[in-house]
Chain A
């Protein structure tokens, strides 16, 4: 437990400068944009006179220099104030917190699906390298890896919603169904099947390919030869010696893919009309809501930092060699 705590502390301290760069970069990017939040707000009102614009700029501090506005922004971020959304006309933090659970469910389920199914199929493919089954899985995963998630989503909608009518086409739950408890959870689960598949299948292919490649390397190690010499059954060698050692790099991949998966959820949530955090990015762009877009980028960066921290802790727990030397040297 001590080790995990020390790791957490070190990682969090190291992420402060990185997060500062993200905030600065996002701020600079938004400075490049023509017009400011007041312009966008006036457009949403249907216009206004220059006096009103002047007053609004003054009250939001937009008439000050870029440096003092940056200071204003950072100090409000420090108070967990993400600003005011133009299109929702509400505090951004409230909107983000409302949307985040949907996206976390989507990403969590997609990761679970991709990791379990991908590594299992990878074990099947890597157990007998070069076999017919291995070839089929390799070609299949390569093709799957090339499929854009949003297009896969449309194809799945076409098959399972339009043709077979098994699953709903969009949304996160049936509107005004009055369902509660387990019935509501099942309803949400039914709505999530297609989005989770669309988001997760590309990572399933990735994990399958990584597992297979990793097993290929482990097969050549001496301890596998030793296990063979001991006369262990092939299946026992595959599960206990080869797959086990090939699994660790996949855990690292889990953290590396967090950012791309978050990016993917932007499009998937748009395809399935899921009111999630990813869709906020698209809504912010469509509504020219710069404060909201900035907040979405910064919150995503924080999310990715947290996911990577969790992955590191899991890795340290799975592989006791990690971090133990640092503890010994202290």
Chain B
């Protein structure tokens, strides 16, 4: 664990990304304490521009709700959906990939065709269809996005498992009579995981962007404030109050940049790049 942290800390991108994400995570977690106001409450005159009134630093929207409060609460939805979808995608993908790689034969063939099928349907379209069928809620959105993102981890895990399966320590485990399931979970999976984890940042970033797009089209969780939803509401006032759509977009960009930079650090920390050189 220690070399991982040290290597991570030595990559400037990783540290910058970690700082951005920590800031956003703190804002998301501490939102009720720093900004005790209800993000849905009408607190002032509508359409107050940013930097005009000290009590509303980023202004108010068309209903007179505080933009800063909504921006901070919006990071909750984005980060929750982003990271939960990535967990779903990584867990499902790694399991499917490991099973396919270890069993081989018809099971492998069948599973990989399912992976192909999920890969040729646009992930956003799949999420759109799933949410429209199951109804918009945070859990459904997480599942819907995870459903379109597990194929990458599945392919990578399968490829890793196929190569690990032939290594000596796996043969040794077999010789000492270890149960196949035990070999799978104790010998193969832990070694197949690091390369799969390098996909985390790309998946989280894509998930944050898909959630924003879903909310923008009106398919976000109706009970939470989302950046995509804020942009959609501000869109009708693009000419008169452009800050309403621009501010939440900047939130999205900084979150995704943070995720990418963090990912660079993670790749460095897991020394995936080092192994190839």
Contact of A142 among B128, B218, B260 (CB under 8 A): B260
Instruction: Check B37 for interface membership: any CB of A closer than 8 A.
Output: no
Residue numbers in A under 8 Å from B249 (CB-CB) = 147-148, 151, 154-155
Residue numbers in B under 8 Å from A110 (CB-CB) = none
Residue numbers in B under 8 Å from A22 (CB-CB) = 117, 120-121
A263 and B122 within 8 A (CB): yes
Indicate with 1 or 0, residue by residue over A117-161, a CB within 8 angstroms of chain B CB atoms.
000000000000000000000000011011111110011011000
B128 and A282 within 8 A (CB): yes
B124 and A266 within 8 A (CB): yes
B205 CB, min distance to chain A CBs, angstroms: 7
A267 and B217 within 8 A (CB): yes
Instruction: Given A142-B257, A270-B217, decide whether A281 and B121 contact each other with a Cβ distance below 8 A.
Output: no
Contact of B238 among A30, A157, A301 (CB under 8 A): A157
A144 to chain B: closest residue by CB: B253
Residue numbers in B under 8 Å from A305 (CB-CB) = 120
A285 to chain B: closest residue by CB: B132
A151 to chain B: closest residue by CB: B249
Residue numbers in A under 8 Å from B119 (CB-CB) = 259
B216 CB, min distance to chain A CBs, angstroms: 5
Instruction: Check B179 for interface membership: any CB of A closer than 8 A.
Output: no
Residue numbers in A under 8 Å from B261 (CB-CB) = 142
Instruction: Check A262 for interface membership: any CB of B closer than 8 A.
Output: yes
B254 CB, min distance to chain A CBs, angstroms: 8
B120 and A266 within 8 A (CB): no
A201 CB, min distance to chain B CBs, angstroms: 12
A18 to B253, CA, bound (A): 35
Indicate with 1 or 0, residue by residue over A16-52, a CB within 8 angstroms of chain B CB atoms.
0111011001100110110000000000000000000
Indicate with 1 or 0, residue by residue over B93-117, a CB within 8 angstroms of chain A CB atoms.
0000000000000000000011011
Instruction: Check B256 for interface membership: any CB of A closer than 8 A.
Output: yes
B99 CB, min distance to chain A CBs, angstroms: 17
How many of A's residues come within 8 Å of B, CB to CB?
A: 46
A297 and B245 within 8 A (CB): no
B113 and A18 within 8 A (CB): yes
B239 to chain A: closest residue by CB: A162
Instruction: Check A275 for interface membership: any CB of B closer than 8 A.
Output: no
Q: Could you tell me which residues of chain A, from 310 to 328, have a CB within 8 Å of some CB in chain B?
A: none
B132 and A293 within 8 A (CB): yes
Residue numbers in A under 8 Å from B116 (CB-CB) = 18, 21
Instruction: Check B54 for interface membership: any CB of A closer than 8 A.
Output: no
Residue numbers in B under 8 Å from A29 (CB-CB) = 129-130, 133
Residue numbers in B under 8 Å from A221 (CB-CB) = none
A304 and B120 within 8 A (CB): yes
- Of A21, A25, A32, most buried by chain B (CB within 10 Å of CB) is A21
Residue numbers in A under 8 Å from B253 (CB-CB) = 143, 146-148, 151
A271 CB, min distance to chain B CBs, angstroms: 8
Q: Could you tell me which residues of chain A, from 238 to 282, have a CB within 8 Å of some CB in chain B?
A: 259-260, 262-264, 266-267, 270, 281-282
A158 and B257 within 8 A (CB): no
Residue numbers in A under 8 Å from B218 (CB-CB) = 286
A151 and B245 within 8 A (CB): yes
Instruction: Check B125 for interface membership: any CB of A closer than 8 A.
Output: yes
A146 and B205 within 8 A (CB): yes
B125 and A263 within 8 A (CB): yes
A25 CB, min distance to chain B CBs, angstroms: 7
Instruction: Check B231 for interface membership: any CB of A closer than 8 A.
Output: yes
B245 and A32 within 8 A (CB): no
- Of A26, A33, A151, A157, most buried by chain B (CB within 10 Å of CB) is A151
A162 to B242, CA, bound (A): 10
Instruction: Check B43 for interface membership: any CB of A closer than 8 A.
Output: no
Instruction: Check B212 for interface membership: any CB of A closer than 8 A.
Output: yes
Instruction: Given A33-B133, A150-B231, decide whether A301 and B212 contact each other with a Cβ distance below 8 A.
Output: no
Residue numbers in A under 8 Å from B121 (CB-CB) = 22, 259, 297, 300-301, 304
Further contacts, 18 of them, CB under 8 A, given A22-B117, A145-B260: A21-B114, A146-B252, A146-B256, A148-B212, A259-B121, A263-B122, A266-B122, A266-B213, A266-B217, A267-B216, A282-B217, A285-B217, A293-B132, A297-B125, A297-B129, A300-B121, A301-B117, A304-B122
A-B contact pairs, 21 of them (CB 8 A): A29-B130, A29-B133, A142-B261, A143-B257, A145-B260, A148-B252, A150-B213, A155-B246, A158-B238, A158-B242, A260-B122, A260-B123, A260-B124, A262-B125, A263-B122, A267-B213, A285-B132, A293-B132, A297-B125, A304-B120, A304-B121
